[in-house]
Structure 1
């Protein structure tokens, strides 16, 4: 059972990292939602033409289901949807999953998880273990691709001792995202995100130039891996398409938060979006395109294995994970 102090630290850190709305850290500070149950399966292999996609489970946490979790819908509607789906009306179970692309001799990691900064420690920061269970070592990774700079996506790049976890990898980041989060002016202008800015600096300050690759999204960054700007959740949020053998896998990062809420109601806005209107426009554009296909879709906060299909419903979409 998670101790109260652990819970408070968890909520406070996640709030400042952009995973909770501002001010929620005190909203249910006395609550104890217990620990998520981790799946026995920590990785999942999927063939995509000549490429293999491997989902790598990083963990899960439980956050208060607060009235500002969805910023533009009545809280009663949000709780009613949760009830209809058999979900808790007290908390949201937020899962974390990155992906490894194995293309010939290339080993390309899409996001790195919480690393050693996640809370609760018992159920977060397991991506590296999942990678090893899948048969790979950190030194095997030649490329790391980051969707955006929230702590749950970048913290696995560097451990608390300051060592870079993937020493042989080139780390590809959107120049727009890097510029925003490394800006002292932006940090001063956003005191509610102070911890998030500090975490970015912990990860990227001192990263060798030979490792860091700042680029403009909209280009192929590795064979069969294409970057697509999807700004809104953060200023430089970027999604990726992996293409092989006439098939496509879309890794959409945080374009859709928990799909039970934000795929079924794509018009709903999550509190962690920095520019919710831009994020909404990108989400609607993406869903209109993918609805006409049988493409695979993966999301960082989708329930494990976090890869499957978005099936159109009369209202919104349902995420159908691969069996």
Structure 2
């Protein structure tokens, strides 16, 4: 190697080593944090029917002492921790859906409503904004099917102005649920903790007037969607079976709340189940059917997108989330 070549090589090496020191002094700021979640929308097919999960958000509270009536708080904490949740907190997940049968657009349950959005600083009450993100105009909804009359399922029937949020929709409700909540004797005998729920039912449905239709059990409310009585959580609690060809999904409402607790431990009686023993009986019966039929379940209080297959696991059940589908 000549001296010129050697000197050139040494010079190039030195230049490379010094390069970091010779860069201009320009600040390389990181991108600012977004601090906002993307819209909570997910779609999947049931045969020829399209299901859109339109989340209403999540609310997290300190773990109540008596969340489960027949289990200790320590047992509940351990179950939460085993499922990788915070052992000292309980999260409510809210997941209404919209079903496009091809001829009808049907919403199942309506979320917490606009007032809850303000009260929770946006953590719940997201249903209407997520409908918009999904490209669904509430005015195009033909039917809203209600599983039961707890506030997180019916308050979204009204907008922030107190008027119907689904202006052109028929509201279909279980006759048994209507009979219980509209009975003045039941309202007068209710425990003080339950009286606000009775008042809320009258507030919501009073604003809907003649838009409400009651249905009997096992009613096909539109072609492809049939009701199934699943009492216990409330007296008239109802699930909805979506069927297209050989494909089916069970929209279970509140047959369980958080599955990490109440599917894994079907004998646990939640504080918000009005008849714990009946709720357990219903839960075991329905979940045994889901296992036997290898059917997808859509759970209102499952984690988004809230759809899973169910397998038997000892005395309980284990949800296996459906895989994400990038195209329909």
TM-score of the superposed pair, with normalisation by structure 1: 0.85
Q: Is the 8 A contact 1:55 1:99 kept in 2?
A: yes
Structure 2 SS opposite 1:250: strand
Q: Is the 8 A contact 1:38 1:59 kept in 2?
A: no
> How far did residue 320 of structure 1 move?
2.3
Residues 162-198 of structure 1: CA distance to partner in whole angstroms, max 9, x if unpaired? 2101111110001111121122221221121122112
> How far did residue 245 of structure 1 move?
2.1
Residues 106 and 38 of structure 1: CA distance in aligned 2, closer, same or farther (over 3 Å):
farther
**2:110 aligns to what?**
112
> How far did residue 148 of structure 1 move?
0.2
- 1:71 & 1:38 partners in 2: Cα distance? 36
- 2:263 & 2:208 partners in 1: Cα distance? 36
**1:306 aligns to what?**
306
> How far did residue 251 of structure 1 move?
0.4
RMSD of equivalent CA atoms: 1.5
- 2:208 & 2:139 partners in 1: Cα distance? 17
Structure 1 SS opposite 2:267: coil
Structure 2 SS opposite 1:177: helix
* Runs of 4 or more consecutive aligned structure 1 residues displaced over 4 Å after TM superposition: none
Structure 1 SS opposite 2:95: strand
> How far did residue 297 of structure 1 move?
0.5
- 1:189 & 1:38 partners in 2: Cα distance? 45
**1:126 aligns to what?**
126
**2:67 aligns to what?**
69
- 2:103 & 2:109 partners in 1: Cα distance? 19
Q: Is the 8 A contact 1:144 1:169 kept in 2?
A: yes
> How far did residue 311 of structure 1 move?
2.5
- 2:225 & 2:36 partners in 1: Cα distance? 30
Residues 69 and 38 of structure 1: CA distance in aligned 2, closer, same or farther (over 3 Å):
farther
**1:5 aligns to what?**
none
- 1:172 & 1:73 partners in 2: Cα distance? 36
Ranges in structure 2 where 5+ consecutive residues have no aligned partner: 1-34
Structure 1 SS opposite 2:193: helix
Residues 53 and 165 of structure 1: CA distance in aligned 2, closer, same or farther (over 3 Å):
same
- 1:121 & 1:114 partners in 2: Cα distance? 13
**2:185 aligns to what?**
185
Q: Is the 8 A contact 1:309 1:321 kept in 2?
A: yes
**1:251 aligns to what?**
251
Ranges in structure 1 where 5+ consecutive residues have no aligned partner: 1-36
Structure 2 SS opposite 1:292: helix
